């Protein structure tokens, strides 16, 4: 969940705050994908806004090659849009809490040949869930090679797949921010949409002191 705090048309800047962070970030809108290779076509930036979306489009000639879309959730600033729990093998459980927020970032890359025929397509999604654990910030993150809708995704990191799940918190330094997981899956509810995501997960990480820590739980994310 991203909060747009202010837009400044005279400087082409937008001030935002990301879920789980107290830091405000200033984005220069003109810097959105400025170095995207357009070959002989002209690179331009379109900015589109309607009642519920704010959209950047990087163009190569008449073709959209990259886009970033902000969808309106509320007129008022909202702090929470998620529910989650986390069960550890060796540490205290994070019981189900609604004092959590989440963000989903998706990317789709398409490769066309010289006849404009699609020859390859890759999708990736990153899911962030932020809350507190024992009075300190905790971030649960997933990187997967699909959209976070129905089905499941492996959370086993290997030479063929960069998927992973990770927990980041100063309370658990032995397993914090280890972006390499194994023996895990992220299972999405059949009725998921990009606005309502429900899933359960399980994975294992090897701690910095050498033990395998099994982690599992459930989460719900709402963007309506």
- Residue range 101-149, pLDDT digits in tens: 998 888 777 777 777 777 777 888 999 999 999 999 999 999 998 888 8
Residue 30: phi, psi to the nearest 5?
A: -65, -15
Looking at residue 21, its pLDDT comes to: 59
Does the pLDDT of residue 6 top 60, yes or no? no
Query: Which residue in the block uniquely carries the two structure tokens 């998620």?
Result: 82
Looking at residue 57, its pLDDT comes to: 78
């Amino acid at each position: 969940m991203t909060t747009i705090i202010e837009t400044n048309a005279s400087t082409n800047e937008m001030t935002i705050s990301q879920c789980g962070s107290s830091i405000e970030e200033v984005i220069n809108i003109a810097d959105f994908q400025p170095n995207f290779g357009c070959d002989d076509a002209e690179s331009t930036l379109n900015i589109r806004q309607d009642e519920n979306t704010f959209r950047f489009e990087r163009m190569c000639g008449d073709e959209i090659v990259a886009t970033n879309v902000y969808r309106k959730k509320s007129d008022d600033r909202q702090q929470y849009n998620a529910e989650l729990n986390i069960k550890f093998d060796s540490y205290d459980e994070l019981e189900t809490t609604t004092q959590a927020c989440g963000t989903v970032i998706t990317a789709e890359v398409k490769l066309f040949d010289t006849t404009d025929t699609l020859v390859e397509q890759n999708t990736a999604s990153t899911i962030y869930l932020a809350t507190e654990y024992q009075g300190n910030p905790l971030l649960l993150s997933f990187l997967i090679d699909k959209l976070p809708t129905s089905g499941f995704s492996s959370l086993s990191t290997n030479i063929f797949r960069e998927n992973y799940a990770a927990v980041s918190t100063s309370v658990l330094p032995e397993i914090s921010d280890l972006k390499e997981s194994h023996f895990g899956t992220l299972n999405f509810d059949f009725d998921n949409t990009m606005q309502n995501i429900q899933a359960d997960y399980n994975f294992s990480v090897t701690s910095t002191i050498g033990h395998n820590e099994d982690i599992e739980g459930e989460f719900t994310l709402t963007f309506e």
